[in-house]
Amino acid sequence: MKKKASEKAAALMAIRPEYVEKIAEGTKTFELRRKIGQEFVERKIPTIAVYSSAPTQRIVGLIEVLKVHHMSLKDLWRLVEGSAGISYIQYQEYFKGVSSGYAIEILRYIPTFYSTLSELGITRPPQNYQFINETQLDQILSKGLM
């Protein structure tokens, strides 16, 4: 059954350029989040469009999601240590005030030619993430893969 254009085809996620670079290099294989929607946990959204925040301010690639882990911060650090692109001190600061967190395990990063948010009809970058539909995902893919 073909998805309707309005259905959730992927998520658009803002990630800082230094972390996008680590993802592209393959040294960062987990993207950490304090909270995330149930669709990720149930693995119903297998693709993330990567919006590289300022100064880049463009969609620069796609992430194929392998799995989303949700666990206590202690257990989560054991899982992601050395693969999340941050130190333990940065990890503690990021997760300050919460008792559990999420790690999106990256199966593959696919660089794409740059797309702007306005090309997708989006006026501002997401704070955490937002869903995009199949038409918007197709617009990113139509620019071509690098």
Query: Pairing relation of β-strands 30-33 and 47-52?
Result: unpaired
Q: 41: pLDDT confidence band, cut at 50, 70 and 90? A: confident
Mean pLDDT, the chain, rounded, equals 92
For residues 105-127, average pLDDT: 95
Q: Which CATH class is domain 8-142?
A: mainly beta
Q: Could you tell me the residue ranges of all domains in the chain? A: 8-142
pTM: 0.90
Closest CA to 49 of 32, 63, 37: 63
Q: Give the pLDDT of residue 43.
A: 64
Lowest-confidence segment of 51-60, 68-77, 80-89, 127-136 by average pLDDT: 127-136
Q: 16: pLDDT confidence band, cut at 50, 70 and 90? A: very high
Q: 1: pLDDT confidence band, cut at 50, 70 and 90? A: very low
User: What is the Cα–Cα distance from 42 to 93, expressed in whole angstroms?
Assistant: 27
Q: Kindly give, in sequence order, each residue whose CB lies less than 8 Å from that of residue 70, ignoring residues fewer than 6 positions away.
A: 41, 100, 101, 102
The single-letter code of the amino acid at 99 is S
> Helices (DSSP H) in the chain: which residue ranges?
17-25, 38-41, 73-80, 88-94, 134-142
Lowest-confidence segment of 26-40, 52-66, 76-90 by average pLDDT: 26-40
